[in-house]
Structure 1
């Protein structure tokens, strides 16, 4: 009988430790990458939305079959990064960057770097979800179980709860430089009947339900697999898994019914005329030597407004790229325009209270030509794009130049959800990607906003899918708060959305036009608006 020496035993210990931290096999990497990329196909702009209801199940199975926390984390990172690389493909639309002084290959390099960095940042959050899911004792049922003296949390509660906590809330908080963009709920923006429950539980609740459905799929697959690999998610017999699938179906049906009930109570009466002025001022007209001056812009807008009906007219973000209140001639001209059109105006421009605190702002001008004293200052700023984080000072100049803004060194963040009290009604402005924040939009509604408007300038991203994804966010904000939503994008697509999330009018990309439609001003607050913070 062979003997094992003391030296051999000692040499086996580090070998075991190394095995726990071994690099993933090529097969594992390919499975994780492909699974994540397939889920990304559900993103707005690609619109293979059914995938969202089962496309996360592979990640859940990969987590429970992991032999160490390191493996679970690595699998989650690869899955999450590839999911976001597909979802966030619009970052490639940043190029060409010749207006920043980069040639064609440098532009591609910078666009690809931004695309990869942001995707990896979001991949890290999904890896944290994977690690937490691995470390917390879990069982395959809807109820907790005590196994071998250890209480285990139901997967049907743990996985959806961890997902929305890490992805929707903590990891993507502004203080963490987070941008909660690639959320699962937005994949359903065209399924308006399905998302009506968002007026009660919000988009975050819809995301919870999507993950719940994926847990049921993973539970069924693990049970039918009949191997120990997925035993943590496997029921004792197929009948149990089918019963739990039925429970999930009942929950989803209940959510659908609750949403339909609340939708039937919502006011969608459109009694006022509204128009979006889509100026189509491309990046060359903004940033190069061929840039248009305020007078050029005013005459361009005046031409587009010929024959406009009285009502509300919404301009885009930075429609007048100056410090608006410091230019009396422009203020007077815009006031005269409002009077002649008998329309209230909402205009994107800049404001400042001191030389070192410029704001990306929205102004209101009433139909009698009066400039409102209330000015909305954008609260949620784009990291790097609108303000340089503190550590940017230690980076090379070729990176710092990417923080270029109309204000020069960056914007200051506003603090208040200011509402513009116009003749038409009370308008709650949002600027650019603030429509990704349900917290900000709900706070604007609670502060008296009867109509939501978003002013955006997406010219930076050329012909990408970013506009379609921002429309998806706007659809959810409209449903959550039961408000009409006017989305005004400089280069399109612009849209008018009703409180049920239906896109009533929309424009195409890269056209200068006046998009007209009907809106209503609503004072009743949704259940979601009242409770969500």
Structure 2
């Protein structure tokens, strides 16, 4: 057993959230720390008993997520209207939920790979189990309670496209796996420096060499894939597309008297980049039109704009569908957070309805079974989730649409690409986040949707960050926060289907199944 005092393990445990916080996108974003940040926590799990490992992992996760998700206070306080103490309580509750997975990770890792009761337990067990377990829990969090896969560790490498091309094999989970393996291998290298270590254990040595080989494969593949795809994309089809960032004040956006001014703002900004008459498509953000386009007189103003400029328009707007009428005249109506495609003749050419709604933001979960939640429906909205991932078609362009935080769910972009999309369009309104780290984190996750499917991604955000991402993850051009801007760029349209699009999205599920199998095997052998 290690002779290090308990307070040293406490320092180790809290060193991880500090390093990881400095590494992730936002105020600092020093990405090289990702390769070492989790090593102190892994060292804790190697030597402390399971219960102590769990508690320290939970505390470290709580501290990290307070740092990562502090913008929740801005969202529910400034824009949600809650007092400061309730806003902070919302942050604490979310951080507690997220830190549960850290505590569970440390508990299981200590049980299955720790040395709290076996001094010379093979370090290779920890080296391989840590990435499998971490990715399994990330995957579980992606769908549990509707899912909140915010800023998994792999996303921290978004600014280094040469390092993340393996995402087209196993999604962002494959990159997270490689980072965890790098951290656990560092722990193994340090551990193997002990004078009493026995290097003649052949299986352990082979497993450690296999870990090194896996990392060489992942990052070697990424370097080669980046060069190959970049050359192929440069020779393929391109289309000139414009994005508009209106920077419309969130507090005034939905007031009836401001909607005409909002339309005028978007039209004016768009026309600033349409002077060369070679732009084919203009993209406006989520709910850029704060009214029902299908029944509002301002629809004619939109039609005039696209006809006069001979362009197509993709824009966010609320929409509704009448599903039935009662004898007394009452109507059943489904409301959607939608994106509509308007052709150059001013006609509706397609509509996408947001599939993954924000709980307690766009709908109230379990409202049918808990009538006392009905008042919340009035305050937060009552949208219906869309069902289709079919692309919106504009000649050679087939767009897979991601509305708002749908960009953090890999399955939605993958389904659209599998259905034939050769371009991804993310329409969002990140004004809720204020001048925090959240817009940078949101952009980071969007980059991976492009890399996983090898599709260009066009992003239009009300207050930023808007821009263009090519199929290998280069951010071609992006905007500053809270600046009215319009950008136009030639965007590659690529057709090749990746392994991720076909079946690589199952990588996280395989890790979860592996952990279950290990647990069952241990129980049976106990």
TM-score, with length taken from structure 1: 0.82
Equivalences for residues 175-214 of structure 1 within 5 A: 175-214=144-183
The secondary structure found in structure 1 opposite 2:33 is: helix
**Aligned partners of 2:459 and 2:467 also within 8 Å:** yes
2:299 alignment partner in structure 1: 331
Structure 2 residue matching 1:112: 3-state secondary structure: helix
Say which of 420, 433, 445 aligns to 1:448.
420
- Hey, what's the Cα distance between the residues in 2 that align with 1:338 and 1:89? 41
> 1:55-101 CA distances to partner (integer Å, 9 max, x unpaired)?
1111112122222x32222122112112222222332433752x555
Query: Is it true that 1:359 corresponds to 2:336 in the alignment?
Result: yes
- Asked if the contact 1:481–1:528 (Cα under 8 Å) also holds between the matched residues in 2, the reply is yes
Q: Is the 8 A contact 1:36 1:80 kept in 2?
A: yes
Deviating more after overlay: 45-54 vs 380-389? 380-389
Deviation readout 1:75-128 (Å, 9 max, x if unpaired):
22112112222222332433752x5555xxx2x333322322222111001111
Spell out, residue by residue over 1:426-453, the C-alpha distance to the aligned partner (whole angstroms, 9 max, x if none).
1111011111111111111001111001
Question: Aligned match of 1:76 in 42, 57, 73?
Answer: 57
When residues 280 and 239 of structure 1 are mapped into structure 2, their CA distance, relative to the original with a 3 A threshold, is farther
Structure 1 CA distance for aligned equivalents of residues 86 and 372 of structure 2? 13
Which residue number in structure 1 is paired with residue 36 of structure 2?
54
For 2:135, the equivalent position in structure 1 comes to 164
Work out whether residues 61 and 99 of structure 2, in 8 Å CA contact, stay in contact via their aligned partners in 1: yes
In the alignment, the residues of structure 1 paired with residue 88 and residue 396 of structure 2 have an alpha-carbon distance, to the nearest angstrom, of 45
Following the alignment from structure 2 to structure 1, what is the Cα–Cα distance between the partners of residues 379 and 433? 15
Corresponding residue for 1:432?
Answer: 404
- The answer to whether residue 346 in structure 2 is matched with residue 369 in structure 1 is yes
Alpha-carbon separation, structure 2, partners of 1:188 and 1:101: 35
CA displacement at 1:344 relative to structure 2? 1.3
Alignment of 1:340 with 2:331, yes or no, is no
Q: State whether structure 2 residue 249 is matched by structure 1 residue 282.
A: yes
Q: Is 1:38 matched with 2:15?
A: no
Worse-matched range after superposition: 414-423 or 271-280:
414-423
* 1:236 match: 198
* More divergent stretch after superposition (354-363 vs 56-65): 354-363
Distance 1:514 1:256, change over 3 A: same
Per-residue deviation at 1:51? 1.3
For 1:416 and 1:274, the matched residues in 2 are separated by 24
1:519 aligns to 2:496 (yes or no): no
- Contact 1:54–1:217 (8 Å) recurs in 2: yes
Name the SS of the counterpart of 2:460 in structure 1: strand
TM score, norm. by length of structure 2: 0.83
8 Å CA contact 1:452–1:483 kept in 2: the answer is yes
Task: Give the C-alpha shift of residue 424 in structure 1.
Answer: 5.2
Distance 1:353 1:187 in 2: 40
Contact 1:480 1:529 in 2 (8 A): yes
Query: For 1:452 and 1:243, how far apart are their aligned partners in 2?
Result: 42
How far off is 1:367 after superposition?
2.0
CA deviation profile, 1:239-294 (whole Å, cap 9, x unmatched): 9999876654432222222223333442423621111110101222225xx66533
Distance in 2 separating the partners of 1:403 and 1:25: 52
Distance of aligned partners of 1:157 and 1:243 in 2 relative to their CA distance in 1, 3 Å threshold: closer
Indicate if the aligned counterparts of 2:15 and 2:40 stay in contact, CA closer than 8 A.
no
- What is the SS of the residue equivalent to 1:41? helix
| Change in CA separation of 1:254 and 1:369 when aligned onto 2, cut-off 3 Å | same
Structure 1 contact 496–504 (Cα < 8 Å) conserved? yes
* SS of alignment partner, residue 321 of structure 1: coil
**Structure 1: any 5+ residue segments left out of the alignment?**
1-23, 140-146, 228-234
Is the contact between residue 311 and residue 424 of structure 1 (CA under 8 Å) also seen in structure 2? no
CA–CA distance in 2 between the matches of 1:466 and 1:364?
28
Match of 2:260 in 1: 295
Q: How many pairs were matched up? A: 480
Q: d(CA) in 1 for partners of 2:13 and 2:147?
A: 24
- Which residue pairs with 2:225 in the alignment? 262
8 Å CA contact 1:339, 1:367 repeated in 2: yes
Distance 2:53 2:150 in 1: 24
Q: Which residue of 2 aligns with 1:489?
A: 461
Q: Aligned partners of 1:88, 1:30: CA distance in 2, in Å?
A: 23
In structure 2, the residue matched to 1:252 is: 215
With a CA cutoff of 8 Å and minimum separation of 6, indicate the structure with the bigger relative contact order: 2
Is 2:46–2:114's contact at 8 Å kept on the other side of the alignment? no
